[in-house]
Amino acid sequence: MNRQELVQLIRERKSYLCIGLDTDIHKIPKHLLSHPDPIFAFNKAIIDATKDICVAYKINTAFYECQGIRGWESLQRTVEYIPKEIFTIADAKRGDIGNTSTYYAKTFYETYGFDSVTVAPYMGRDSVEPFLAFSEKWAIVLGLTSNEGSRDVQQLQLDGGGFVYEQVMKTTASWGTPDNMMFVVGATKADVVADIRRLLPDHFFLVPGVGAQGGSLKEISEKGMNKEVGLLVNASRAVIYAGNDEKFAEDARAVALQYQAEMAQYITL
């Protein structure tokens, strides 16, 4: 999916909601456990209930990889089931060099057909560039993440002023363009989002941390939007685990609609 298509979808749906299909086999409704592929059965129901509300789905591959081959099969069924007009994210946080990165990119872009993959930039340029070599695919670079441990490295202050995450984002941005690179910017760091937007005025930000982690959609929207919205705000647990009985998908839809309704107030496209 290219940038114009993504922006058009946001405009049409008045939504920049990304739903995280971070599906934990231990948290899905018990009645699904007898299904031949309970993870896919859960995801299918969530997708059916929300596919007209969101603009993206994010799949954290850890929840699938831990299941072995069955988990990878669930992942593949899920990606294939997502409507083609919706942006897909492999939240795999890959980062290596040379041919290894190229094959990671092939895995997610070609074998599984994702539109994007999250990438760790700390091994440098040759770990990120292979993900930028595919037409209409996106590398989503870890910038300032929402976890407390981001203080350990990302938020260290540099001797010359500024922070490690700022230097990493500014440097990484020069390797790609706003048409093939996004950045992860955590919603729990809303106080610095405006500064990051000034640093990167044209890039899309993937924003985790709204909902269960306590990030404010209002703050992120006010401080992080650009002229094309430029945000994909992710909600995972708050949406997909909104209910835990036979009506779980309806409950998920209700929460997703609340997010979309609030987003529609902020969109000025």
Each residue's pLDDT tens digit, 35-71: 999 999 999 999 999 999 999 999 999 999 999 999 9
d(CA 216, CA 190): 8
Domain that holds residue 208: 3-266
Distance CA 113, CA 90 (A): 10
Residue 63 maps to which CATH number? 3.20.20.70
Give the DSSP letter of residue 107.
I
Residues assigned a catalytic role: 93
Query: What's the pLDDT band for 153 if we cut at 50, 70, 90?
Result: confident
> pLDDT > 70: what percent of the chain?
98
pTM: 0.95
Amino acid at residue number 128: V
Pairing of strands 231-235, 181-185: unpaired
| Widest distance between CA atoms in the chain | 59
Contacts of 115 (CB under 8 A, 6+ apart): 1, 87, 88, 89, 136, 137, 138
Q: Which tokens is 71 given? A: 């988990």
- H or E, element range at 184: strand 181-185
Identify whether the C-beta of residue 17 lies closer than 8 Å to the C-beta of residue 53: yes
Count of the separate structural domains present in the chain:
1
* CA pair distance 184, 204, nearest whole angstrom: 9
- The full length of the chain comes to 269
